[in-house]
Each structure stands twice: as structure tokens, then as C-alpha cells.
């Protein structure tokens, strides 16, 4: 039988429902939690609680991860935003069927120039990962991630080249 706090693995544990129904229910619950969040500016504590509840319910859910990343990013809590950006990179890599280590991904591995959700979110998450590292003073890793985006995004839709130019110019951070 299903153990509380663990996700059911078999159709018997799910009450005979197919796996897809369980995932749809989980996604709906995450969407409901996030939609009910009051907003980071009006009630940051309640919003953070909703985001954390969504992540606890569905740690692999892209919407929950994206909400967590955005919440922490816009609150300038980069150390807390960074793991969510990294998780999004891995999740999108799996959808694209490319290496989950972004350092191993090559331009020919997927259609990164396609204007579709998965390649776009992959590149956005990798830019976020690079930017977060820069903001935390991890310059080498931040530059490495942005260089990878530059290689994968030849039209610079996600502004990795601009960010790299700012780093090269020694542009001050928001707090300077």
C-alpha cells in the first residue's frame, strides 16, 4: 500500500488509475497552488510557502521549479534561485534528449534555434544559471555557462553575448 509522503509507483497504489492521470492530477495541484499564491510583492512569505508546497508535491514539475526560480531571482536571492535554474536545465535536457551536463551539449544535439518551449526554456535556464553564478561571484562558472549559450544560440535570442560583453567590460553589478 502507499506510504504517506511518497508518490505511488504502481497502478495498484494509484487506485488503478493509469500513470498519466496521476501526473495530470499532480500538475493540476501544482497549478492550483501557484495560482492561489498572493504574489511575491504583496505577501512574500505566503508566496514562498505556496512555491515550497508545490515543490514538495512535485519536485520534478517544471512549473513548480520555474516558479521557485522566479520567486528567488526577483527577490535577489540568487543562491536560492540557482538550484532551480540548474534543475530546469536538466529537465529541459531530458525533454530534448541531450546530455544533462550542459557542458557536454553541442549545437547539433538539438534544434536550439527553434522557437519552441523546450529549447527556449533550456537556453533561458542556462542563461539564468550563468547569471546567478555571476551575481554570486562565481565568475568562471557563470562565464562558462554563458559561453555555452552563446554557442547554442547563434542569433543571441537570450542575450548571452550581451551579458558576456558586460562581464568583459567590468560592468558593475546591481549592488555596486
pLDDT of 67-126, one tens digit each?
A: 999 999 989 999 999 999 999 999 999 999 999 999 999 999 999 999 899 999 999 999
**pLDDT band at residue 4 under the 50/70/90 scheme:** very low
102 & 157 share domain: yes
4 falls within a domain: no
User: Vertex 137, ends 136 and 142: CA angle to 5°?
Assistant: 85
Indicate the number of domains in the chain.
Answer: 2
Enclosing domain of residue 146: 77-171
167 & 85 share domain: yes
- Region 47-72 average pLDDT: 89
30 & 58 share domain: yes
Residues above pLDDT 70, as percent of the chain = 77
pTM of the model: 0.78
Tell me the DSSP string of 76-129.
T-HHHHHHHHHHHHHHHHHHHTS-SSGGG--GGGS-TTS-SHHHHHHHHHHHHH
47 & 31 share domain: yes
Q: Pick from 75, 90, 113: which residue ends a domain?
A: 75
Q: Pick from 48, 75, 102: which residue ends a domain?
A: 75
Check whether 138 has a pLDDT greater than 60.
Answer: yes
86 & 133 share domain: yes
Amino acid at each position: 500500500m502507499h506510504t504517506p509522503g511518497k508518490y505511488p509507483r504502481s497502478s495498484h497504489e494509484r487506485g488503478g488509475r493509469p500513470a498519466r492521470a496521476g501526473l495530470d492530477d499532480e500538475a493540476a495541484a501544482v497549478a492550483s497552488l501557484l495560482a492561489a499564491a498572493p504574489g511575491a510583492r504583496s505577501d512574500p512569505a505566503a508566496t514562498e510557502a505556496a512555491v515550497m508546497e508545490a515543490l514538495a508535491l512535485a519536485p520534478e514539475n517544471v512549473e513548480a521549479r520555474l516558479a521557485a526560480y522566479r520567486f528567488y531571482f526577483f527577490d535577489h536571492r540568487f543562491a536560492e534561485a540557482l538550484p532551480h535554474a540548474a534543475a530546469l536545465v536538466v529537465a529541459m535536457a531530458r525533454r530534448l534528449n541531450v546530455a544533462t551536463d550542459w557542458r557536454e551539449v553541442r549545437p547539433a544535439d538539438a534544434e536550439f534555434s527553434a522557437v519552441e518551449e523546450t529549447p527556449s526554456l533550456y537556453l533561458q535556464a542556462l542563461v539564468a544559471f550563468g547569471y546567478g553564478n555571476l551575481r554570486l561571484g562565481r565568475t568562471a562558472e557563470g562565464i562558462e555557462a554563458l559561453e555555452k549559450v552563446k554557442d547554442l544560440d547563434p542569433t543571441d535570442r537570450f542575450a548571452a553575448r550581451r551579458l558576456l560583453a558586460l562581464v568583459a567590460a567590468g560592468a558593475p553589478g546591481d549592488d555596486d
